[in-house]
Amino acid sequence: MEITMISHRTITIPARRRSLATCVATAMLAVVLTSQAAEVGYREVWPGDVELSFAAIHFENPMTGMLVGERVFEDDKSAVIVTSDGGATWQSDLGTVSGRLLGGRFFDAEKGWVVGEQGAVMATSDGGATWDVQTSKALADLFDVHFVSDQIGWAVGQNSTVVKTTNGGNTWSVLVGGQPSGEVGEGAVMYMGVHFLDETTGFAAGSGVTGVIDRTTDGGKTWETVFEAEENLRGISFMDSTTGWATGKYGLLLATTDAGETWEQKEVGTEEDIYSVSPGDEGHIWISGDYGTIAYSGDLGDTWRLVSVSVEFFGTMKELRGPIMAVSAIGNEAWAITDVGRVLYFRLD
């Protein structure tokens, strides 16, 4: 398998890696036993790569997905890698901006955005074949982005930063914050995740003095705290207009079934930090976190099944103990990434 470089260079994966990075559609899936005796198939699509570190992943449909992160040893660090054929092949845009990329999302199979350090924003309108740099007007790091149409979207980040576009990113406006570290007043929040229900109502999860879930009902101009936690909060995602989840430290998972009016803690069965939450279909939800944590629920988060994953380390299969930075569920499938360039694929039958 090859990674085609938009800079017109090609990187060929070494033979050992090619044997693992085969098309998921034809690969045999390992079957693992979860802590509650349920079975789930998984495959290591990419083995670890010390030259890459991933921070985010998003699959818009079973064919179209993106990996977002950095080139660890390069000055121009940005890395966004996309597939349009379910992981059989991947195309990369490397070093277009100097900083790390920290979040990203497709709106549909063609249009998507990635965000990163020092207010970086890049956009594609051709499924990741090409990427254009956009200007967010923010100097703060941006961690997540969410669009409710192909024109209207928001990105959030450090120092309570919220930026918005109403024209697909041709122009962005700073609604809140925007300043880099050291130039912000008391009470600022590090927003790590964002999800909007429509053009006016949205939620952001993050941490200041405490962990918070903040809500806006005016399109991001003003925000109020609707939930406060002792632990730092990180990811947030909604399945529909009423049902959503937020994640945090020490196994914290919060759920709402009333459009964010109230939030209830759910027992996951781990005390590891949970970084990411992603709903699939038929009540299935996936979470990922520290120390190899990955789990799924088949009942909207009331009960959870932890999955034990073994991966190759220098020719030997060992249980994965590193952080699984993010997971993206689509249908009965899920994709996950680690901070050392590893990509995992899961399937529920």
Query: Tens digits of per-residue pLDDT, 136-181?
Result: 999 999 999 999 999 999 999 999 999 999 999 999 999 999 988 6
Query: Tens digits of per-residue pLDDT, 20-71?
Result: 233 333 334 554 434 443 478 999 998 878 899 999 999 999 999 999 999 9
Other C-beta atoms within 10 Å of 302: how many? 11
- 41 Cβ contact list (under 8 Å, min separation 6): 29, 30, 31, 32, 346, 347, 348, 349
DSSP 29-56: PEEEE-TTS-EEEEEEEE---TTEEEEE
Checking DSSP bridges between strand 132-135 and strand 142-147, what pairing results, if any?
Answer: unpaired
Q: Rounded to whole angstroms, what are the CA distances from 174 to 74, 133, 164, 203?
A: 30, 17, 7, 17
Which tokens belong to 302? 């009331």
The count of residues in the chain is: 349
For 17-26, the CB contacts below 8 A with 24+ separation are 17/46, 17/47, 17/49, 20/44, 20/45, 20/46, 20/47, 20/312, 21/45, 21/46, 21/47, 22/88, 23/85, 23/86, 23/87, 23/88, 24/86, 24/87, 24/88, 24/345, 25/86, 25/88
What is the reported pLDDT for 39? 73
Which tokens belong to 163? 């930026």
Query: Tens digits of per-residue pLDDT, 62-109?
Result: 999 999 999 999 999 999 999 999 999 999 999 999 999 999 999 999
Q: Are 237 and 278 in contact (CB under 8 A)?
A: yes
Q: Are 152 and 165 in contact (CB under 8 A)?
A: yes
- Please give the mean pLDDT across all residues of the chain: 88
Poorest-pLDDT segment among 53-57, 119-123, 317-321 = 317-321
Q: Are 163 and 194 in contact (CB under 8 A)?
A: no
Tell me the pTM: 0.89
Place of tokens 């109502």: 201
Across residues 210-236, what is the average pLDDT? 97
Say if residue 68 is exposed, middle or buried (CB neighbours under 10 Å; 0-12, 13-18, 19+): buried
Q: Are 228 and 212 in contact (CB under 8 A)?
A: yes
